[in-house]
Structure 1
Amino acid sequence: MKLYTRGGDQGETSLIGGRVSKVHPQVEAMGLLDELNSHIGLALAHQTDETLRAQLTKIQHDLFDLGSELMHRNEPPKQVDLAIVTELETWIDELEPKCPPLRRFILPGGSVAAASLHVARTVCRRVERELVEVEVAARQLPYFNRLSDYLFTAARYANVGAGVPDQEYARGADVFKQKKKKE
């Protein structure tokens, strides 16, 4: 089998259920998922922490599964079990206590490992915005919303592991104030 087919040379591509323009929202969403997966792969290449490496590898597989749903013009015959949303929440809950408390917004960056996760997080937010327009992907929105939260937390955790503090946004007020306990 040859890598190239020439089938898309006129600006169209195939989905299961028919051909569409390469600017069709589903095709755009699939491209963004590919971009996100590539950024996660880059972030993975910068990680030394085995927990993050295992989690990011699992996420890459999940993204391929979710992308397969987008290959269908109509509702796909098989859908990904969205228990993966709960899995992300569990990972966030495990990593967050290992990070310093949030008092202010933080700037993306720090170590290379963390900065690469922040880039993946911003691409994930773009995927989420694009999926709002894709009817067959509406059920996936909670996953991408939670994935961006995970990537934020993972970036902070990567900075902790590298011994690099998060850079707080200096011109903002404390936005993560602790609620006072009523006595």
Structure 2
Amino acid sequence: VTLFSYLLSVHGFTIVLLQAPITKMLEKYKGLQTITMGSMLFALGEVGFAFSTNEGLLMLSMIVFTIGEILVIPSEYALIDVITPEKVRGTYYGAQEFTQLGGFIGPWLAGLILSSYGGKAMFIAMSGISLFSLLFYAKGWKMYRIKQSSAKHGPSLDDKVCF
């Protein structure tokens, strides 16, 4: 319980201390790039949790995981803003909230994996899910680019910074 409290504190402090400088430092990258970097950091943090042998390594893994979160969350909303038609943008934002379903399914699935295969398997599975999610972002980006090239109008993500 004490270690978990420390990890949550590290998570919060990392967000407070690093969100502004990381956002500023990565302004030149576009939405899909930051989402990819963030998802890779999520995965790396999860693998770190799986193989950490002490509290210091767990805290380092939490920092890596949290930096991934700093990259992904604002970028996914900015990406939705760019790729959606204005008339249905609210619908897309509403559909994006289905990610909250992960707040229910994630702990349940992780608990099943944990009880059946152990902690390492659980964290590695979560790492894989993070990387697998990139396929959906890439597919959405590809669909947007195809539509943009055929329509030859509208905002381009290449002209916008997604933070």
The structure richer in strand per residue is 1
The structure richer in helix per residue is 2
Which structure has the larger Rg?
A: 1
Q: TM-score range by the shorter chain?
A: 0.3 to 0.5
TM-score normalised per structure 2: 0.36
Higher relative contact order (CA 8 A, sep 6+): 2
